Amino acid sequence: MGKLFAVVLTIITVVSTAFFAARTWWLPVDISAHGHAIDRQLMETMVSSGVLFVLSQLALAVFVWRYGDRDDGRRVRTFPGGVTPMVLFATVLVGAEILALTFVGSKVWAGIYQTPADPGSLQIDVQSEQFAFYFRYAGADGAFGATHPELINEANENYFGLDPAHDVSARDDIVVPTLTVPVNRPVALTLRAKDVSHAFYVPELRIQQDFVPGLAIPLHFTATRTGKYEIVCTQLCGLGHYNMRAFIEVVSPAQFDQWLKDKAAQQ
């Protein structure tokens, strides 16, 4: 029975690890300026914890194989050196791994979430609601109109609660259901929620952030590759949660300027 356990556990360990190693299912292509740092951190964690995973499962398998009761009157033996070296070993090994991961990882995190956006960033306001995203560009005046929740009206497509009648800066705001950004230019989003919590997640951008009602949450990134990618909601928001999505289109600067002009003309 012990040998069977050892064999089954070894097979489980090898097969599980093989799919990670072969990258059968893996992260999509990275299209962000910061993503390589996250991917490297993920890889380092994958390798170091993968080694720990394989070693501990195999140690378990080997000991179970070796130390079954054969009823031969053999006396039991204590682990060589007893418990103290084991505790020291675990503390030093895991402690070193934690230190290494934290030192590198907290820099990666800080680079994305704790640094302010580049002052020259393209500013975009994002409104989330059950079950859609809307994106607002400041328009020609470069200023966003103020938002008034009591003016939010789905039928009039006033998703942000703008007041163009009284608010000059709101008049040229461009509101669209797709996020269009120029490639290689820093983008600064302000995330707002109209009703309940939602989240902004673009796997290719390696970025994720909750929308929280009552808060305007900043988030910034730079997309480095043109194309069309999905933005999905990852915070449970109600029955249409699975269907809450938008697209991000990363285009060349020239295309972006043209697009913005076209949209401004339609306002």
Partner 1 sequence: MNPPATPAAVTAHHHTPPQGFLRKHVFSLDHKVIGKQYLDLALVAVCTGMLLSWLMRFHLAWPETPIPGLAKLSPNGAAGGVITPEYYLALMTMHGTIMVFFVLTTAPFAGFGNYFLPIHVGAEDMAFPRINMMSFWVTLVAFLVLVSGFFVGDGPPLSGWTAYAPLSAVGKDAGPGQGVGQTLWAVSITLFCVAQLLGALNFITTTLDLRTKGMSLARMPYSTWAWFITSVIGLIAFAVLMPACILLILDRVAGTSFFIPAGLVISDRLQPHAGGSPLLWQHLFWFFGHPEVYIAILPGFGIVSHILPVFARKPLLGPRVLIACLVAIAFLSYTVWGHHMFLSGMNPFSATLFSVPTLIITIPATIVTLLWIGTIYGARLRFTTPALFCLGFVSVFVSGGISGFFLAQPSIDTYLHGTYFVVGHFHFVMGVAAMFGIFAATYFWAPKMFGRMMSETLGKWHFWLTFVGVYCVFMPMHYLGLAGNVRRYSAFTDDYLKPLIPLHRFITIAALFTGAAQLIFLFNLIRSRFRGPRAPDNPWEATSLEWSTTSPPPFDNFGGRPPVVERGPNEYGVGSGARGADYLMQAAAAPPGVH
Interacting residues with partner 1 between 90 and 109 (CB under 8 A): 90-91, 94-95, 97-98, 101-102, 105-106, 108-109
CB of 96 to partner 1, least distance (A): 11
Alpha carbons 52 and 20: distance in angstroms, whole number = 14
Specify the amino acid at residue 126.
V
CB of 263 to partner 1, least distance (A): 25
Q: For residue 219, how many C-alpha atoms fall within 13 Å in the half-sphere facing its CB?
A: 21
Structure tokens at 43: 């890889």
| Interaction residues for partner 1, span 155-214 (CB under 8 A) | 161, 194-197, 199, 201, 203, 206-214
Among 14, 153, 178, 253, binds partner 1 (CB under 8 A): 153
Alpha carbons 62 and 119: distance in angstroms, whole number = 58
Between 141 and 242, whose beta carbon lies closer to partner 1?
242
Alpha carbons 193 and 133: distance in angstroms, whole number = 9
To the nearest 10°, report the CA torsion of 160, 161, 162, 165. Answer: 160
CB of 14 to partner 1, least distance (A): 12
Among 142, 177, 227, 240, binds partner 1 (CB under 8 A): 240
Listed ranges 63-71, 117-125, 173-181, 256-264: which one lies at the site for partner 1 (CB under 8 A)? 63-71
| Interaction residues for partner 1, span 38-57 (CB under 8 A) | 38, 41-42, 45-46, 48-50, 52-53, 56-57
Each residue 106-145 as x (binds partner 1 by CB under 8 A) or -, in order, gives x-xxx-xxx--------------xx---------------
Among 236, 253, 258, 261, binds partner 1 (CB under 8 A): 236
Among 77, 119, 165, 266, binds partner 1 (CB under 8 A): 77
- Decide if residue 237 touches partner 1 (CB under 8 A): yes
Element (H, E) at 230: strand 227-232
Q: Assign residue 214 a region: left if phi > 0, alpha if psi is -120 to 50, beta otherwise? A: left
Residue 19, preceding peptide bond in cis (omega within 30° of 0):
no
Short-list 180, 139, 140, 144, CA closest to 161: 144
Q: Is residue 125 within 8 Å of residue 144, measured between CB atoms? A: yes
Among 28, 177, 227, 253, binds partner 1 (CB under 8 A): 28
